[in-house]
A and B are shown apart, each in its own frame.
Chain A
């Protein structure tokens, strides 16, 4: 019998990381993710790991850099202002191609903002965030179970591509309680890779570095990085598409807002409005192609992992749906990627709450009704 445990989201992040073989955590307190470091401070010593409270997020991410370069599974966790402080370090980690996992339990901004849930760090997470041409793989769980699934995926992905993976959550996910099924077997971290700085006994010295002082060399490095990002974009897209094949309106949402939209979809269907839900699981790479297919009326329904397609066939000859992107963001951030994917083929609308306000299913339902009325008029 798999073990079912009731947990809080932030604790799930910690336990999932430990189950995924992570033994090193460096962080700095910030609401609403404090239970992550607190959990790690308690649990990591039990499993022979290291928890260290850094003097700042700047120090924390650079400790992660050092430990990742030393060849182990390492992570940090923070919330928006702290993640902003980490950006230089994240850029170095990408430049030096080090694997690690960074959790952002997003809160309201800008500035000190609020401590309630938000999704207003989407641009920062998916478009680079710090300086230079780089990408993070960004995973957006929408349940505690999925935190486990994606954390289990995050470390191997980070190692495979030698690139940081960001888990983009929010305060709702961090604070909610849900039962989870723990993995049957905890994962084992692989031995330190051959490039890690472990001491050069019996080999030539290793160097962890992001400096390419000659312009040509730096461009060559960038070309290599871009080729890697292209490969990730081809192979690692993940999303969930529900009821999209007959939908007149497809909601697009990620993370905890996708749950709100799921309820809104059910309310709408109960009223006879054909609503679907498209939930990106990888925010980068963004599932553009799948969305484009839905817009063109050829999309499929189901869960697609690692760039596969799944589920029921497309709608045949009927036109694609209108899209309603719902985010905890004032102006909308992911909606820009939705528009790029849909590319003018179908209308893309936006509804957002911000500053820590979570939209309700009924609010979303209102938007769906209004949209329908507008189309009919």
Chain B
């Protein structure tokens, strides 16, 4: 009998601690499948960040380092500069990457550091109990925005992929989602493209994955998937914003001026090609 669904070799058999319906687990699996398919498990070094995915070092079956909050891109840089022929990736939440670690991610991207970043955007601080994240949508209630995020008080949510697309350093930038099986397949393709960019020495690659946090959103797993689709995707459009070919850049050579214009995400799927300027209010 042929086994068609099993644990990827790049995942350990340690049971994951994620809440029911949390999509962190799916994203781990996608990364692991890509590592298997590319045959890179034994030359990959992953970096776990601080957030719900902090135990990623127990789940990925490759060498791992655990980084302080927000600094995973700096840790990855240290490793990659020592072992340029190994594959180095970080796995970071939105609080980790877009708030406390905003400096490190921008500069790793600007340097075109040849690493891959898996950026899990669940619009909230999951681990610490549901506080506002830099990616929390306008109107979204969190424990620190009890009446909903308000632009004047809390500022606007940060679109990381678009922000980084202003830099010449990145070789690959995409935003994907995992709220249905089709999107999961697309997400895997993007993750694979990101690792491939690194293997090809093209420079910095990042995949933003829209993810659910049913626990802190106060929703059932199914409701959470629907909430993501209805609320996050309009504000965070899906698609590839930079690919090694669109960047028309050689490894280490700055991109042409044309790539520095405002990005229009190239759609993977049908959803979310039109970027909205506001998330839904009043959630």
Hey, which bits of chain A sit against chain B, CB under 8 A? 24, 26, 50, 52, 54-56, 58-60, 62-72, 74, 88-89, 92, 96, 197-202, 205-211
B86:A200 contact, CB within 8 angstroms: no
Which of these, B45, B67, B106, contacts A62 with CB under 8 Å? Answer: B67
Partner of A70, one of B42, B43, B71, B78: B78
Within 8 A of A (CB), among B37-58: 41-45, 47, 54, 57-58
Give 28 A-B contacts (CB < 8 Å), ordered by A residue: A24-B81, A26-B78, A50-B81, A58-B74, A59-B71, A62-B74, A62-B75, A62-B104, A66-B67, A70-B78, A70-B82, A70-B83, A89-B71, A92-B68, A197-B45, A198-B45, A199-B43, A199-B63, A199-B86, A202-B42, A205-B61, A206-B63, A207-B58, A207-B66, A208-B64, A208-B65, A209-B57, A211-B54
Residue of B78, B81, B103, B104 with highest tally of chain A CB at under 10 A = B78
- A55-B107, A197-B45, A197-B65 known; A24 and B71 CB under 8 Å? no
Asked if B183 is an interface residue, CB under 8 A from chain A, the answer is: no
Q: How far is the CB of A26 from chain B (nearest CB, A)?
A: 7
**Given A207-B57, A211-B54; A199-B45 close (CB under 8 Å):** yes
Nearest to A202 among chain B residues (CB) is B42
Check: B79 CB closer than 8 A to any chain A CB.
Answer: yes
Instruction: Output the least CB separation between B115 and chain A (Å).
Output: 10
User: Please, how many angstroms separate the alpha-carbon atoms of A12 and B277 in the complex?
Assistant: 55
Instruction: Determine the distance from Cα of A67 to Cα of B79 in the docked complex, in whole angstroms.
Output: 5
Question: Sorted from nearest, which 6 A-B pairs have the closest CB atoms?
Answer: A66-B78, A62-B74, A63-B78, A66-B75, A197-B63, A67-B78
Near A by CB (< 8 A), chain B positions 75-109 give 75-83, 86, 103-104, 106-107
- Decide if B65 touches A207 in the complex (CB within 8 Å): yes
With an 8 A cutoff between CB atoms, is B62 at the interface?
yes
CA distance in complex: A64, B104 (Å) = 14
B42 and A200 contacting across the interface, CB-CB below 8 Å: yes
Does A74 contact B78, Cβ atoms closer than 8 Å? yes
Q: Are B74 and A54 in contact (CB under 8 A)?
A: yes
B66 in complex: contacting residue of A54, A74, A209, CB < 8 Å: A209
Q: What is the total of A-B residue contacts with beta carbons within 8 Å?
A: 129
The interface on chain B, measured as residues whose beta carbon lies within 8 A of the other chain's beta carbons, has a size of 34
* Cβ–Cβ < 8 Å partners of A200 in chain B: 41-42, 61-63
Q: What is the minimal beta-carbon distance from A21 to any residue of chain B, in angstroms?
A: 14
A96 to B, closest residue via Cβ: B66
In the complex the two chains form, is A66's CB within 8 Å of B64's CB? no
With both beta carbons as reference points, the residue of chain B lying nearest to A208 in the complex is identified as B65
Smallest distance from the beta carbon of B81 to chain A beta carbons, Å? 5
Cα A219 to Cα B63 in complex, Å, equals 25
Given contacts A70-B83, A209-B66, could you give 7 more A-B pairs where the C-beta distance is less than 8 Å? A65-B78, A74-B78, A88-B68, A200-B61, A207-B64, A209-B65, A211-B54
Smallest CB separation, A9 vs chain B (Å): 26
* A62/B63 contact (C-beta < 8 A), A56-B103, A197-B45, A199-B45 known: no
Residues in chain B near residue A88, CB distance under 8 A: 68
Interface class of chain B by DSSP: helix
Closest residue on chain B to residue A65 by CB atoms = B75
Contact A67 B81 (CB under 8 A): yes
Q: Taking CB as reference atom, which chain B residue is nearest A60?
A: B74
Cα distance A92–B45 when bound, in Å? 18
CB closest residue in chain B, given A209: B66
Given A70-B83, A89-B71, A197-B79, answer yes or no on A55-B104 (Cβ-Cβ < 8 Å). Answer: yes
Q: Which residue of A lies closest to B57 (CB)?
A: A207
Counting chain A CB atoms within 10 Å of each CB, which of B42, B63, B66 scores highest? B63
Contact A197 B64 (CB under 8 A): yes
A199–B68 CB distance below 8 A: no
Interface residues of B in 94-135 (CB under 8 A from A): 103-104, 106-107
* CA distance in complex: A56, B70 (Å): 13
Kindly provide the distance from the CB of A342 to the nearest chain B CB, expressed in whole angstroms.
39
A59 with B68: CB separation less than 8 A: no
Determine the distance from Cα of A24 to Cα of B65 in the docked complex, in whole angstroms. 18
Q: Which residue of B lies closest to A74 (CB)?
A: B78
Q: Which residue of A lies closest to B60 (CB)?
A: A205
Chain A residue with Cβ nearest B42: A201
**Chain B residue nearest to A26 in the complex (CB):** B78
Chain B residues whose CB sits within 8 angstroms of the CB of A72 once the complex forms: 82
A66 touches B79 (CB 8 A): yes
B221 CB to nearest A CB, Å = 25
Chain A: CB-nearest residue to B84: A50
A68 to chain B: closest residue by CB = B78
| B63 in contact with A207 (CB, 8 Å) | yes
Q: Judging by beta carbons under 8 Å apart, are B43 and A59 in contact?
A: no
B58 to chain A, nearest CB (A): 8
Complex interface: chain A residues within 8 A of B71 (CB): 58-59, 62, 65, 89
Interchain nearest-CB distance for A67 vs B (Å): 4
Q: How far is the CB of A350 from chain B (nearest CB, A)?
A: 37
Give the distance to chain B from A194, nearest Cβ to Cβ, in Å: 12
CA distance A199 to B61 in the complex (A): 11
**Chain B residue nearest in CB terms to A92:** B68
Say whether B75 contacts A63, CB under 8 Å.
Answer: yes
Q: Tell whether, in the assembled complex, residue B79 and residue A62 are in contact, meaning their CB atoms are under 8 Å apart.
A: no
Return chain A residues, CB-CB under 8 Å to B65: 65-66, 69, 197, 207-209
Smallest CB separation, B164 vs chain A (Å): 14
Minimum Cβ distance to chain B for residue A217 (Å): 13
B105 to chain A, nearest CB (A): 10
